[in-house]
Structure 1
Amino acid sequence: MGTANSFLKSAHATRTRRGQRITAATLNILQHKAYGKYTEDAQSDGHEPLEFGVWCQQRAECCPQFQYWATTLNLEQIRCNRGKGIRRRVTASGPLPSNWQNFLRNSDNKEELFSFLLEQVMQLFVKESKQLVVTDKKQVLTVPPRKDTANLAPCNHEEADTRMLVHAADALECGHRRILIRTVDTDVVILAVGLANERSEVLDEIWLTFGTGKNRRYIAAHQIAKALGPEK
């Protein structure tokens, strides 16, 4: 199990990740305070207190709230142990990373890679009667150029799931009534159902291509929203 300091001092993080680490640090402090109280009570009753790890396991088995704490802390410790990865420059002529997992551990690598890919896509996109809209950090880029991007800019969403729904909502404002989103994230499915429920007056269909390979399937978020009803 990690410590509060290890969670707060680990590698570079976005504001969202920083918030998660502060939560983990707080839970870690609460967990150790609870164990300290248990130890005092056990000793005052003449009992030998359990070791910290054993006590945590027993508490998790009998208390759902404590199990949530323990799971959150374990996941955060796994993230911290992944490390930051080596910083590498991303260029068109540069070699591909030999270890993509290690490359993507570095947030700067990911940001530069995404910006590079967006630039390449913008240059290659030449389809007539189609429009490409991408967000690069807070900046909104469109091909062909679009005058009004007020629904998108500045885009300060750090997480990809909510950023996808910002694009979907913008598409509705532009008059599109059928939307397709490709994702492997169940959070996006839930958000899409919420959007279908809230914007049913201007949205006919919102589909999700969910999963990869043989496990890929289409999910009709608008049908789920209709079945659940607005009160859900």
Structure 2
Amino acid sequence: MQSRDSDLDEFFAHEIQSYPPSLSILGKLRLSSNKSDLLDCLKCTLTADPPATFDCKVMDGAVVVHSLPTKAVCTFNQYADEVFIPHLENQLQTTFRLDVVWDDYTVDSLKESTRKNEDQEYAKKVAGDAKLPVKWMEFLRDPKNKTELFTFLTLKIENFAWPASKCVHATRGEAVVSIGGTSPMGHCNHEEADTRIVVHLVHALQHGAKSVQVTTIDTDVVVILVVVFHDLLTAYPFADIWIAFGMGKHFQFFHLNDICASLGVRKPKALPFSHAFSGCDTTSAFFGKGKTAWQAWQAYSDAT
């Protein structure tokens, strides 16, 4: 263009490649790898310690499966009976109600193409006497494996003898297995545990729960809870919601009430767009920017 008598304005008025370089690497989306940076923007100093007991605990089931050890067991039955169920029993000691929420992998979903790019097939039949796969994390990357495993573990939950004074709910496809209590849950067609957690949370608040703990390692869940919090508080002004986030040395508590009080009423409603625009599961992150977009948002209130 510099060596020819050409119109630069005309040249730059057209796309010069199929995919915007700020959003892709030769056509492959720059999926955000630092979504958790947003938590540093949202979190604030706790005004109180989390309660010793909760009326309800809502757990992302996939988080539980990823966090529990498998070295001491050989089969799926052993894993369920000696690792998974005892962990739930331990959680149930400090709550009246326990909800285990699984993802439901829909074949024609928007996220299916993303999963195909990320996941490596590692097929393994899930059965009680079958041996656990040596490559456990690779096994959990395959949606088909997870669907079978989640169904298997829900059956174990359903058949276990839980204390009569406790209440346990676990998703099974679009249905919910309800054990104990007098308030069974109906069907729910949400694909991801991210939003289905809110359905379980609302059901708990509707039936008398005041203090609720949500266990997750997904920033998306925190964002969704922030978005719906003020609506929840309007309907249930007694709600006290805590988020148990992360694992191991990265574990921390977030008090949703404190976070939303510091953000005000308007910003939480705009948070989903900000989160997706700066890089989410199915949207690209701007190259080199990530969640530092938060600083620009704070400096430009009209963006809200």
Which structure's residues are more often helix, by fraction?
1
Deviations 1:79-109 (A, max 9, x none): 5454551432211111001112332232221
Match of 2:29 among 73, 77, 84: 73
SS at match of 1:111: helix
Match of 2:253 among 181, 202, 218: 218
Residue of structure 1 equivalent to 2:144 = 108
Say which is worse superposed, 137-146 or 72-81, in terms of deviation: 72-81
Residue of structure 1 equivalent to 2:281 = none
Gap runs ≥5 in structure 2: 32-110, 268-304
Residue 136 of structure 1: how far off its partner (Å):
0.8
Q: TM-score, normalised by structure 1?
A: 0.64
Residue of structure 2 equivalent to 1:17 = none
User: Which of structures 1 and 2 has the larger relative contact order (alpha carbons within 8 angstroms, sep 6+)?
Assistant: 2
Query: Is 1:187 matched with 2:220?
Result: yes
Q: What amino acid maps onto 2:209 in structure 1?
A: H
Q: 1:45-194 to 2 correspondence within 5 Å?
A: 45=6, 60=21, 67-70=22-25, 73-75=29-31, 79-144=115-180, 146=182, 148-149=184-185, 153-194=186-227
Q: TM-score, normalised by structure 2?
A: 0.50
Does the Cα contact within 8 Å between 2:183 and 2:207 map onto a contact in 1? no
Say which is worse superposed, 72-81 or 130-139, in terms of deviation: 72-81
Q: What amino acid maps onto 1:184 in structure 2?
A: I
Percent identity, aligned pairs only, is 30
Residue 178 of structure 1: how far off its partner (Å):
1.1
SS at match of 2:133: coil
Query: Within 1, Cα distance between the matches of 2:245 and 2:256?
Result: 11
Q: How many residues align?
A: 177
Could you say which structure has the larger radius of gyration?
1
Match of 1:206 among 241, 249, 252: 241
Query: Within 1, Cα distance between the matches of 2:138 and 2:4?
Result: 47
Residue 111 of structure 1: how far off its partner (Å):
0.3
Does the Cα contact within 8 Å between 2:242 and 2:255 map onto a contact in 1? yes
Query: Within 2, Cα distance between the matches of 1:83 and 1:207?
Result: 32
